[in-house]
Amino acid sequence: MTPMAISWVVFACTFVGALLGMFLRRILPEHHINEDSKDLVKLGMGLIATMAALVLALLIASAKSYHDLQNTEVTTLASDFILLDRTLARYGPETKDARNQIPGTIESVLDQTWSKDAFRSENLDRAFGPRAEMFYAQIRLLEPRTDFQRTVYAQVMDIGMELGRKRSFLLEQTGGSIPTPFLVVLVF
């Protein structure tokens, strides 16, 4: 359901509740409409309003922590790509083809995982897939000749494994833990 549809459902329920209350006031006996009953209803309404505010605050806190976690992971993913490019540059000119794959991979990831409004991590696996395979194939073709190149090659492989781990972590977060607003409305 869209937020607008949810708003209309809430409005309709509130309006029908008000009409029902006006009808019931006419048929209720007098002892149900005295000051003690009104105070008890006010107390109950205050409790319901407080509980609704608490649920909304928890929902907002959950959404913010989920967003912050994904934002942190995407930022570290980007910094790992930068580190990978710089490490490959240190290896030598034979990494030129592999380094040329990095901007295209990042562009593919951004195009497939970010919409105008939100991050769609369910597309992350498809975004990394083919380009990552081509990239790793080019890295495997490298033959380190010096101790420095062997050290840098090991660093490149470590960074690549870290990128894969972060990709898997983002994919696992796809389900999320945020309930839809419609379910929160049904609780009340």
How far apart CA 135 and CA 156 sit, in angstroms, is 12
How many CB atoms sit inside 10 A of residue 99's CB? 18
pLDDT digits (tens, 9 = 90+) for 73-118: 778 888 888 898 999 999 889 888 888 888 877 777 666 666 555 5
Residue 82, token pair as written in the block = 């930068």
How far apart CA 23 and CA 93 sit, in angstroms, is 83
More confident residue, 118 or 156: 156
Domain boundaries, the chain: 62-178
Name every residue whose Cβ is closer than 8 Å to that of residue 13 and which is 6 or more positions away in sequence.
none
Q: Is the pLDDT of residue 44 over 60?
A: yes
Q: Is the pLDDT of residue 48 over 80?
A: yes
Burial class (CB in 10 A: 0-12, 13-18, 19+), 109: buried
Running DSSP on this structure, what letter comes out for residue 53? H
Per the confidence metrics, is the pTM higher than 0.75? no
More confident residue, 108 or 161: 161
Share of the chain above pLDDT 70, in %: 78
